[in-house]
Amino acid sequence: MPLQNTEVEMAKQDPGPRSPGADRNPQHQRHIEINQATCEDLAQDRLAWRKSAAMNEANRIAAAKAKRAAHKSQAPHINIANVNAPSASELV
């Protein structure tokens, strides 16, 4: 007959791994003082970063659409580097 744990025995068992810092006393944690000017600078930087990220994303999407359209077009591909390549005598 297998042994069965009673509710008291189950309550005494190790609960298993805990999250990091669960055994720390919150009174010992340091409180970080944030300067108001620094906080405002960070907020402005965040807004600027979001705007530039949005513009970069829009440019990336537009470039991808143009590239896709160029690949779909049936116009022959012209290698611009070879079309107007100067001869060696012209370079001297």
Ranges of each domain in the chain: 36-67
How much is the pLDDT for 58?
95
The pLDDT assigned to 49 comes to 87
Q: What is the pLDDT of residue 61?
A: 96
Q: What is the pLDDT of residue 33?
A: 72
Walk along the chain (92 residues) in steps of 10 and give the mean pLDDT of each run. 62 62 59 74 84 94 92 68 61 60
Residue 70 is predicted with a pLDDT of 85
- pLDDT attached to residue 65: 94
What is the C-alpha separation between 73 and 75, in angstroms, rounded? 6
DSSP-assigned letters across all residues of 24-76: S-GGGSPPPP--HHHHHHHHHHHHHHHHHHHHHHHHHHHHHHHHHHHHHS-SP
Name which of 34, 31, 32, 56 is nearest 43 in CA terms: 34
